[in-house]
């Protein structure tokens, strides 16, 4: 059984598996590694990834430890490769397009574009690529986080700062059953499946699973293909459906979900389906249940777990959507409703030695430097003074040690120490001096290295939507009450 590389990538890269190429800090390229089994797309080396950092035959990226640095290679492009570039034929993959636009700017002689996809197989290594150290990249195992930054966008996606918080709040954990709608580009789905994955559960335990719904046909098919390419069949169950009308049952049966995430334009239209009991007509947005659910004599099958509390999150960009969602939640019995907006910022923190604040530095006296020159001069003075103190303290300590050994060095330049040592009564360095020695002989402690400054990175990607959380408690039955009463008798 092959485990998805998202769940267990193993120690090394593998053929036919997804890898994320890190070209630069925020420039990631997903690639399906092809085995070197023949000429490929005009390249004698087999499949090749071209970037502005050089050409990288797949053969050089196979069976290497994840995280390895891969050096660029000289590749035999041949005339066919160049022709392909001009025609743009078959260059439909995202990575091919990205690489093509990068290479276009490099003028004549730029190499052609490979089209590495999972379907198109590989090519034998007719000629070994020649190492050329002009550039390098790193090869990383696929993770939901890396996939989110590199995936082909078909819709707005949920980014890591949001989904990490959402999954925590809806208590998605190994063994959970999570309902998600709509699937969109699958960014959330990948993080969700990792959160609920519980390997091979023992008897009686449920397998963690994501039930995902998407009504846009093309997105549904692309997502279905990705689930299969990523080895996630059986862990993400994708259904092509409009959940406002069709609800969340799968083949007429309940997924028995205990965690739900709705990334839909109108969550209030989906909410009545997520009820334990048939909602009265007035609680459906149109005043009546959708067709198929309008026969009150038919059994109501809830998609929720019958014996668990259910945690729900909806994701909406406008406050008007939030208001309607919260109103529907309240009327449908959801409790603990609250709204959160994630405002994630990456902060670059450093010490500003130039604007050094000497308040703490110079023993609590408020004498902050007025300008750079003064700060530097004062720093030099203070460091010199520390060195002098430390030398004295070291000398005293040495004198004490010598006295203890009965060997007094009368040439010591610290007369007091020498005298004291001669009396067999050498003073130990004071605590303050000990501290100064530490400061002088080691590097300065961080709080002395300058004012702490932080700079925000405003370009961080997030969707900035409002997250509404709610809880539907487990239904408490007479039987539960009897059991509880037996276990914890009242008044005894």
Binding site for ligand SAM (CB under 6 A): 155-158, 181-182, 184-188, 213-216, 219, 242-244, 263-265
Residue 124 C-beta: closest distance to ligand SAM, Å: 38
Residue 209 C-beta: closest distance to ligand SAM, Å: 17
Instruction: State how far the Cα of 235 lies from the Cα of 316, in Å rounded to an integer.
Output: 26
Instruction: State how far the Cα of 273 lies from the Cα of 293, in Å rounded to an integer.
Output: 10
- Say if residues 7 and 197 touch (Cβ distance below 8 Å): yes
Instruction: State how far the Cα of 5 lies from the Cα of 11, in Å rounded to an integer.
Output: 10
Residue 30 or 184: the one with the smaller Cβ distance to ligand SAM is: 184
Residue 50 or 212: the one with the smaller Cβ distance to ligand SAM is: 212
Residue 122 or 142: the one with the smaller Cβ distance to ligand SAM is: 142
For the chain, what percentages of helix, strand and coil (3-state, to nearest 5) are there? 35, 20, 45
Residue 186 C-beta: closest distance to ligand SAM, Å: 5
Q: What are phi and psi of 265, to 5 degrees?
A: -65, -30
Residue 260 C-beta: closest distance to ligand SAM, Å: 13
Residue 360 C-beta: closest distance to ligand SAM, Å: 47
Residue 71 or 216: the one with the smaller Cβ distance to ligand SAM is: 216
- Say if residues 248 and 305 touch (Cβ distance below 8 Å): no
Instruction: State how far the Cα of 445 lies from the Cα of 104, in Å rounded to an integer.
Output: 51
Tokens standing for 60? 């050089």
Helix ranges (DSSP H) in 57-111: 78-87, 94-104
Residue 255 C-beta: closest distance to ligand SAM, Å: 15
Number of separate helices (H) and strands (E) present in the chain:
14, 15
DSSP string, 109-150: T--------STT-----SSPPEEEEEEEEEEE---HHHHHHH
Residue 155 or 368: the one with the smaller Cβ distance to ligand SAM is: 155
Residue 35 or 144: the one with the smaller Cβ distance to ligand SAM is: 144
Residue 252 C-beta: closest distance to ligand SAM, Å: 18
Residue 294 C-beta: closest distance to ligand SAM, Å: 18
Helix ranges (DSSP H) in 217-371: 217-229, 243-246, 267-270, 319-331, 358-361
Residue 53 or 197: the one with the smaller Cβ distance to ligand SAM is: 197
Residue 245 or 412: the one with the smaller Cβ distance to ligand SAM is: 245
Residues with Cβ within 8 Å of 271's Cβ and at least 6 positions away in sequence, in order, are 262, 325, 328, 329, 332
Tokens standing for 158? 């949920």
């Amino acid at each position: 059984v092959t485990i998805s590389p998202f769940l267990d990538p193993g120690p090394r890269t593998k053929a036919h598996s997804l890898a994320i190429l890190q070209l630069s800090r925020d420039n990631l390229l997903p690639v399906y590694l092809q085995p070197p089994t023949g000429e490929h797309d005009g390249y004698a080396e087999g499949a090749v990834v071209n970037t502005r950092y050089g050409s990288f035959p797949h053969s050089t990226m196979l069976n290497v430890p994840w995280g390895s640095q891969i050096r660029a290679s000289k590749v035999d492009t041949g005339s066919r490769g160049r022709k392909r570039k001009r025609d743009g034929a078959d260059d439909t993959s995202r990575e091919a397009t990205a690489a093509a636009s990068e290479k276009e700017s490099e003028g004549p002689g730029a190499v052609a574009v490979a089209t590495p996809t999972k379907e198109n197989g590989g090519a034998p290594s007719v000629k070994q690529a020649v190492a050329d150290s002009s550039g390098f990249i790193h090869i990383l195992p696929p993770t939901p986080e890396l996939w989110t930054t590199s995936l082909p966008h078909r819709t707005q996606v949920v980014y890591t700062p949001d989904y990490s918080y959402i999954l925590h709040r809806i208590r998605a954990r190994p063994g959970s059953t999570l309902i998600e709608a709509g699937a969109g580009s699958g960014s959330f789905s990948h993080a969700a499946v990792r959160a609920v994955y519980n390997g091979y559960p023992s008897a009686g335990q449920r397998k963690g699973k994501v039930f995902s719904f998407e009504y846009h046909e093309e997105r549904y098919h692309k997502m279905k293909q990705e689930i299969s390419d990523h080895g996630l069949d059986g862990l993400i169950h994708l259904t092509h459906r409009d959940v406002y009308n069709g609800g969340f049952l799968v083949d007429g049966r309940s997924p028995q979900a205990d965690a739900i995430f709705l990334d839909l334009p109108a969550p209030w239209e989906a909410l009545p389906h997520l009820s334990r009991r048939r909602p009265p007509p007035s609680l459906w947005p149109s005043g009546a249940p959708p067709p198929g659910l309008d026969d009150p004599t038919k059994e109501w099958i809830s998609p929720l777990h019958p014996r668990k509390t259910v945690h729900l999150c909806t994701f909406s960009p406008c406050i008007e959507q939030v208001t309607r969602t919260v109103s529907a939640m309240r009327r449908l019995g959801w409790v603990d409703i609250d709204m959160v907006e994630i405002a994630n910022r990456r902060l670059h923190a450093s010490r500003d030695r130039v604007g050094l604040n000497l308040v703490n530095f110079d023993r609590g006296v408020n004498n902050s430097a007025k300008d750079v020159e003064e700060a530097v001069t004062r720093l030099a003075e203070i460091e010199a003074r520390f060195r002098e103190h430390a030398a004295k303290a070291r000398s005293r300590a040495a004198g004490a040690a010598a006295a203890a050994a009965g060997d007094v060095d009368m040439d010591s330049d610290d007369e007091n120490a020498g005298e004291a040592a001669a009396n067999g009564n050498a003073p130990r360095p004071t605590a303050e001096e000990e501290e100064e020695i530490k400061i002088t002989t080691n590097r300065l402690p961080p709080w002395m290295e300058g004012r702490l400054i932080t700079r925000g990175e405003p370009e961080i990607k997030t969707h900035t939507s409002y997250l509404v959380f709610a809880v539907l408690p487990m239904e408490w039955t007479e039987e539960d009450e009897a059991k509880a009463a037996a276990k914890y008798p009242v008044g005894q």
